[in-house]
């Protein structure tokens, strides 16, 4: 899901997108919005797809990365700042195993765990030690080997093969998790010494789950999006309340979703439009079970 568009991949690897398309983010060669799925142009077979606010990126079976849509900050990674209405190859000739897009930047991991980012960098979210936008992949500094990477609004986080979590970029709400409210232009260790399996950077908050399945969140919390029973921002990880063992958490702009080893889907945070799926529009600062219709 992007801000106003969505995409999916069929079992045959064909990508389809639908929704708003004013910048070409549907990838069908047009700028015409669509209420129904439109096939992404170019004939590539995709294995992964990730959507930013107004752009989309995907990986093919050979590890090639393609992006399309809005490109004002270079978030398509093709060496330009020209919007594209169809998939364009990310520059650099790198082979990736994961790609993630959000807002105005994109990141990816190579098979050896090297992290690269491109696009907007006003808060240091590319992690290359600068505040310069990049229109082609630039290596994240520090020489870390990552197994997971996640882009947030202007923050990026990753988990290394040694299960340590690092974040970089905007930190004004504590979403870096290092105990400060300082922006970081290079990977900075999340406080607490926890062993993470995964991490998800959201709007102004970040969540992750440990190797033992305990959920933690940190950052902005005005709508209860940390799930710790408060609405007070936290500058370091705090445990998500409830006796849940997580195998995944997805942090959104103002709320988070989690799925447990028991097969239960839960959510917490802002609920003014019913995004928590519990049948109400009441925001929650502790997890509630998503109720099927």
pLDDT, averaged per 10 consecutive residues of the chain (293 residues), comes to 95 98 98 98 97 97 98 98 98 98 97 98 98 98 98 98 98 98 98 98 97 98 98 98 97 96 96 94 97 79
Angular region, 38: left φ>0, alpha ψ -120 to 50, beta rest:
beta
Q: What is the pLDDT of residue 37?
A: 98
Residue 53 structure tokens: 């606010």
Taking the alpha carbons at both ends of the chain, their separation in whole angstroms is 21
Q: Which of 188, 186, 250, 243 is nearest to 217 (CA)?
A: 250
Rounded to an integer, what distance in angstroms lies between the CA atom of residue 179 and that of residue 191? 7
pTM confidence score: 0.96
Question: Could you tell me which residues come within 8 angstroms of residue 248 by beta carbon, excluding any fewer than 6 positions away?
Answer: 198, 209, 258, 259
Q: What is the pLDDT of residue 291?
A: 85
Q: What is the pLDDT of residue 270?
A: 98
Residue 181 structure tokens: 């409210």
What letter would DSSP give residue 203?
S
Cβ–Cβ under 8 Å, residues 161 and 145: yes
Cβ–Cβ under 8 Å, residues 78 and 67: yes
Q: Where are the beta strands (DSSP E) in 40-83?
A: 46-51, 55-60, 65-69
């Amino acid at each position: 899901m992007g801000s106003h568009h969505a995409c999916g991949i069929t079992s045959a690897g064909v990508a389809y997108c639908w929704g708003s398309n004013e910048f070409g983010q549907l990838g069908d060669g047009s700028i015409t919005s669509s209420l129904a799925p439109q096939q992404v142009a170019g004939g590539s077979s995709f294995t992964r797809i990730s959507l930013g606010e107004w752009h989309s990126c995907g990986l093919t079976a050979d590890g090639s990365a393609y992006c399309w849509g809005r490109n004002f900050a270079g978030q398509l990674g093709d060496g330009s700042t020209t919007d594209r209405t169809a998939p364009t190859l990310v520059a650099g000739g790198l082979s990736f195993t994961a790609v993630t897009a959000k807002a105005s930047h994109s990141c990816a991991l190579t098979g050896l765990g090297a992290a690269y980012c491109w696009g907007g960098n006003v808060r240091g979210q590319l992690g290359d030690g600068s505040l310069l936008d990049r229109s082609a992949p630039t290596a994240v500094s520090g020489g870390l080997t990552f197994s997971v990477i996640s882009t947030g609004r202007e923050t990026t986080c990753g988990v290394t093969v040694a299960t340590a979590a690092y974040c970089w970029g905007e930190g004004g709400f504590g979403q870096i998790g290092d105990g400060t409210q300082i922006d970081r232009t290079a990977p900075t260790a999340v406080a607490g010494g926890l062993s993470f399996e995964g991490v998800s950077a959201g709007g102004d908050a970040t969540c992750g789950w440990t190797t033992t399945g305990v959920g933690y969140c940190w950052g902005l919390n005005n709508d209860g999006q940390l799930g710790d029973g408060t609405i007070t921002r936290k500058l370091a990880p705090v445990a998500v309340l409830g006796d849940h063992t997580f195998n995944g958490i997805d942090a959104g702009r103002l709320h988070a979703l989690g799925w447990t080893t028991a097969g239960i889907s839960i959510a917490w945070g802002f609920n003014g439009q019913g995004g928590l799926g519990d049948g109400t529009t009441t925001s929650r600062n502790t997890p509630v079970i998503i109720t099927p219709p």
